[in-house]
């Protein structure tokens, strides 16, 4: 099917750029000698997870038990829920799933450790448990140091859970614009993770894995000598927000290519200076900024309502932008944008003369929130 | 099933409040002597559409052909696509659907009229066509006056499309905070709609329907003597953003009750002043502001990431807010929040002592963007 026949709005993957991104990060992790466990909350797709593992990833991360269920059902055999799993129902599902695949989970609460141990015992399933430490993000996780040791000791005492190490993800560092500031944030995070791991090891407990990192900071965790595993996810697609980060030389962060787009059609040209497109809040998440028109000089996406996007132009709108004309948008934030769609439309040869649809992939874990 | 057994995150409808909202708006429209055609883009559910029609609505609106298909399949026999339908594929689907139910559509382009006429002829299906005029919103629609007449004449000339009237929705007026300013915006809109209708009638063309209005302004369109049909949708659920509107006496807009909630669980209490809940960007849309904790004094939802929400408190977080404790959030914007979920969980007796799940309704048109 030719590219121009795709109906809109549609979630497009530029397969060529996507595959270059896949390889680039796999090589970066291998080159740094750290394990790579990409975050599947970006793509919500066992197909993509398996391709990441085929290039050397040890497994993937996700945030919810329902995501893990869908990944395992799709053939992924090593999943870390890089998040707390709370409540009897979700814990039972997690333990049941651990019979089918290697499963890990994070904790920041003693009572939660007890509940996980009971479920792991009941289901006869091993479970890797990491202690999440808050190394600067201000979300989940116990403070580094003594509180983390206390939890590690509790995990070891259960005799049924395996203490696997530390979850030390610094989410808010990912979008710090200046390279030096990101480096500094991760240097502090790595220090806190290292001293916590040392404390745990001094207590006679092995602390093999220190896992974290995202697309904005992976280079610092990779070279830290502390982190043993990287969790970057967005690198496969790159969104407009990540593209606002800066490199050390002040240039914008372009080491990965935009590979995810929302294809949209012009649906109203009733006013000369304006074009309205058929992709709004239901097609592109705006939590990290509006989507940006791709390769459409002078155009700005200035407003999103549920089913409409308004484009304005420097000067007059191009006459070529007639009703039905399709344009591509780079989403502001890839993860929640993917979550709005049921399918990826994988396009080959987008930079060439006859781009075409090569594959459709379901966004299998779309809406998987439990 | 008792309320406390609902797993989270979940999209909750307080059925008692919802039904009061349904009746209140139906009575307001009947009292004003105008037709009511509520907007189904809010709920995306044929079940709810049929309940609105059982209380007197003449039909519903939606924005996309795919929504119309799902509504008609669900037993709704009168649907206005209050939007432009562009492109051969979507137009053919619209015309095919018009064989099964009364269908209307809006136009703001002459070429689009020609394409619609060809499809209506080919499918042998009648189609109501309204001319959309831009009466202040700055989105779709031709300017009022001569451009609208030109389109109406073109519709009549097709001999196959029925010119039904004017679509005159003022979306940006809905959230103007001051009552007098909303009134003023709709007074201007009604003037423009009236003069346009008059111009069309002078040309010998009947212009029966002038349709528009939303939850923020319906009272003004209803009493305008110009509008013949109201399209309000959000009134059934009320979101946090609408609750920031003001009444004439300066009080907040409380004539409809919050009936839509995201139920969420506390999943991390690792730090005294903070509680992290399991509802973030994938559970509640933040385009019109963050969700607000419901009946939880001193709590503020201060940050959303994909799967997490961070609550902060005036003073210390309540000790009762233990892990697993469930709280309700009022979404910032109901329409795109509904679009994140697959099911409504309808709860009866939420204000009483033993609230329970009475029904599950699918969000049948979730993701219907085509």
Strand B102-107 and strand B78-84: the pairing is: parallel
- Cα–Cα distance, A284 to A340 (Å, whole number): 7
The reported pLDDT for the residue numbered A90 is 98
Helix B46-54 crosses helix B15-32 at what angle (to 10 degrees)? 50
Q: Say whether residue B8 is in contact with chain A using an 8 A CB cutoff.
A: yes
Q: Say whether residue A343 is in contact with chain B using an 8 A CB cutoff.
A: no
| B342 pLDDT above the threshold of 90 | yes
- Contact of B231 with B82, CB cutoff 8 Å: yes
Residues 71-90 of B with CB under 8 A from A: 83-84, 86-87, 89-90
Nearest residue on chain B to A8, alpha-carbon basis: B370
pLDDT (average), residues B282-306: 96
Task: Place B316 in a pLDDT band, splitting at 50, 70 and 90.
Answer: confident
Nearest 5 degrees, angle CA A356-CA A361-CA A364?
160
Q: Say whether residue B286 is in contact with chain A using an 8 A CB cutoff.
A: yes
Contact flag A267-B86 (C-beta cutoff 8 Å): yes
Q: What is the mean pLDDT of chain A?
A: 97
Ranges of beta strands (E only) in chain A are 10-14, 35-36, 60-62, 78-84, 102-107, 127-132, 161-167, 209-212, 229-230, 260-268, 274-277, 292-293, 299-304, 309-313, 326-330, 343-348, 356-362
Worst-scoring range by mean pLDDT, A178-192, B13-27, B235-249, B314-328?
Answer: B314-328
The reported pLDDT for the residue numbered A320 is 80
DSSP B111-129: HHHHHHHHHHHHHT--EEE
Report CA torsion sign: B85, B90, B96, B101.
negative
Q: Name the minimum distance, in Å, from the CA of A148 to any CA of chain B.
A: 11
Which residues are within 8 A (CB) of A281 and not within 5 positions of it... i.e. 6 or more apart? A304, A305, A306, A307, B285, B287, B333, B335, B336, B339
Q: Name the minimum distance, in Å, from the CA of A344 to any CA of chain B.
A: 13
B301 sits in which H/E element: strand B299-304
Contact flag B270-A108 (C-beta cutoff 8 Å): yes
- Cα–Cα distance, A243 to A181 (Å, whole number): 16
Residue owning tokens 């299998």: A364
- Contact of A174 with A230, CB cutoff 8 Å: no
pLDDT (average), residues A355-362: 98
Contacts of A9 in chain B (CB under 8 A): 369-370
| B317 pLDDT above the threshold of 80 | no
pLDDT tens, residue by residue, B153-199: 999 999 999 999 999 999 999 999 999 999 999 999 999 999 999 99
- Percent of chain B at pLDDT above 70? 100
Mutation target for A interface from B65, B281, B306: give the one with most A CBs within 10 A: B306
Cα separations in angstroms, A369 against A65, A329, B5, B8, B143? 8, 26, 16, 8, 44
Q: Say whether residue A174 is in contact with chain B using an 8 A CB cutoff.
A: no
Contact flag A269-B109 (C-beta cutoff 8 Å): yes
- Cα–Cα distance, A64 to A52 (Å, whole number): 19
Determine the length of chain A. Answer: 370
Q: Name the minimum distance, in Å, from the CA of A140 to any CA of chain B.
A: 6
pLDDT (average), residues B69-76: 98
Q: Name the minimum distance, in Å, from the CA of A281 to any CA of chain B.
A: 7
Contact flag A340-B285 (C-beta cutoff 8 Å): no
Per-residue tokens: A176: 């710090």
- Cα–Cα distance, A114 to A45 (Å, whole number): 32
Q: What is the mean pLDDT of chain B?
A: 97
SS (H, E, C) B49-79: HHHHHHCCCCCEEECCHHHHHHHHHCCCCEE
- Contact of A214 with A163, CB cutoff 8 Å: no
Contact flag B323-A109 (C-beta cutoff 8 Å): yes
The reported pLDDT for the residue numbered A185 is 98
The reported pLDDT for the residue numbered A318 is 81
pLDDT tens, residue by residue, B226-248: 999 999 999 999 999 999 999 99
- Contact of A333 with A15, CB cutoff 8 Å: no
Contact flag A265-B336 (C-beta cutoff 8 Å): no
pLDDT tens, residue by residue, A6-22: 999 999 999 999 999 99
pLDDT (average), residues A357-361: 98
A181 sits in which H/E element: helix A179-202
The reported pLDDT for the residue numbered A134 is 97
- Cα–Cα distance, A230 to A221 (Å, whole number): 7
Threshold 0.95, pTM exceeds: yes
- Cα–Cα distance, B51 to B46 (Å, whole number): 9
| B320 pLDDT above the threshold of 90 | no
Strand A60-62 and strand B309-313: the pairing is: unpaired
- Contact of B94 with B154, CB cutoff 8 Å: no
Strand B343-348 and strand B356-362: the pairing is: antiparallel
Task: Place A271 in a pLDDT band, splitting at 50, 70 and 90.
Answer: confident
Query: In this structure, what is the dihedral angle of CA atoms B332, B370, B172, B224, given to the nearest 10 degrees?
Result: -110
pLDDT tens, residue by residue, A49-59: 999 999 999 99
Contact flag A109-B41 (C-beta cutoff 8 Å): no
Q: Name the minimum distance, in Å, from the CA of A60 to any CA of chain B.
A: 17
The reported pLDDT for the residue numbered B273 is 85
The ipTM assigned to this model is: 0.96
pLDDT tens, residue by residue, A333-351: 999 999 999 999 999 999 9
Contacts of A283 in chain B (CB under 8 A): 369
Nearest residue on chain A to B302, alpha-carbon basis: A139
Q: How buried is residue B19: exposed, middle or buried, by Cβ count under 10 Å (0-12/13-18/19+)?
A: middle
Q: Cα–chain-centroid distance for residue B96?
A: 25
- Going by C-alpha positions, the residue among A220, A144, B151, A196 that lies closest to residue A209 is A196
pLDDT tens, residue by residue, B96-150: 999 999 999 999 999 999 999 999 999 999 999 999 999 999 999 999 999 999 9
B17 sits in which H/E element: helix B15-32
- Cα–Cα distance, A75 to A97 (Å, whole number): 13
Mutation target for B interface from A11, A84, A139, A303: give the one with most B CBs within 10 A: A139
B163 sits in which H/E element: strand B161-167
Per-residue tokens: B267: 């999943």
Q: Say whether residue B336 is in contact with chain A using an 8 A CB cutoff.
A: yes
Contacts of B111 in chain A (CB under 8 A): 323
| B263 pLDDT above the threshold of 90 | yes
pLDDT (average), residues B6-26: 98
Contact flag B41-A306 (C-beta cutoff 8 Å): yes
Contacts of B278 in chain A (CB under 8 A): 86, 369
């Amino acid at each position: 099917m030719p590219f121009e026949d795709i109906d809109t709005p549609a979630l497009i993957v530029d397969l060529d750029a996507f595959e270059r991104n896949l390889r680039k990060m796999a090589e970066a992790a291998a080159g740094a000698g750290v394990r790579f466990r990409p975050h599947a909350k970006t793509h919500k797709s066992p197909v993509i997870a398996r391709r990441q593992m085929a290039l050397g990833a040890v497994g993937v991360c996700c945030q919810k038990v329902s995501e893990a269920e869908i990944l395992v059902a799709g053939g992924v055999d090593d999943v870390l829920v890089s998040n707390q799993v709370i409540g009897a129902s979700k814990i039972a599902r997690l333990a049941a799933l651990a019979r089918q695949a290697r499963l890990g989970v994070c904790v920041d609460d003693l009572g939660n450790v007890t509940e996980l141990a009971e479920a792991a015992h009941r289901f006869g399933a091993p479970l890797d448990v990491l202690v999440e430490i808050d190394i600067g993000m201000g979300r989940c996780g116990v403070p580094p140091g003594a509180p983390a040791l206390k939890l590690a000791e509790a995990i070891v005492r259960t005799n049924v859970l395996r203490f696997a190490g530390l979850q030390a993800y610094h989410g808010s560092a990912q979008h710090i614009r200046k390279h030096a500031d990101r480096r500094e944030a991760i240097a502090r995070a790595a220090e806190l993770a290292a001293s916590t791991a040392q404390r745990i090891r001094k207590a006679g407990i092995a602390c093999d894995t220190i896992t974290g990192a995202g697309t904005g900071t992976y280079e610092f965790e990779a070279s830290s000598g502390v982190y043993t595993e990287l969790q970057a996810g967005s690198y496969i697609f790159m969104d407009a927000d990540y593209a606002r980060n800066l490199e050390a030389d002040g240039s914008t962060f372009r080491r990965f290519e935009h590979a995810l787009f929302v294809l949209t059609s012009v649906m109203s040209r009733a006013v000369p200076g304006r074009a309205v497109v058929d992709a709004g809040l239901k097609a592109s998440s705006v939590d990290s900024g509006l989507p940006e028109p791709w390769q459409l000089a002078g155009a700005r996406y200035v407003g999103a309502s549920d089913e409409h996007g308004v484009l304005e132009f420097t000067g007059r709108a191009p006459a070529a932008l007639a009703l039905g004309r399709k344009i591509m948008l780079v989403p502001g934030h890839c993860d929640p944008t993917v979550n709005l769609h049921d399918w990826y439309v994988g396009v080959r040869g987008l930079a060439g003369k006859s781009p075409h649809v090569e594959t459709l992939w379901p966004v299998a874990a779309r809406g998987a929130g439990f």
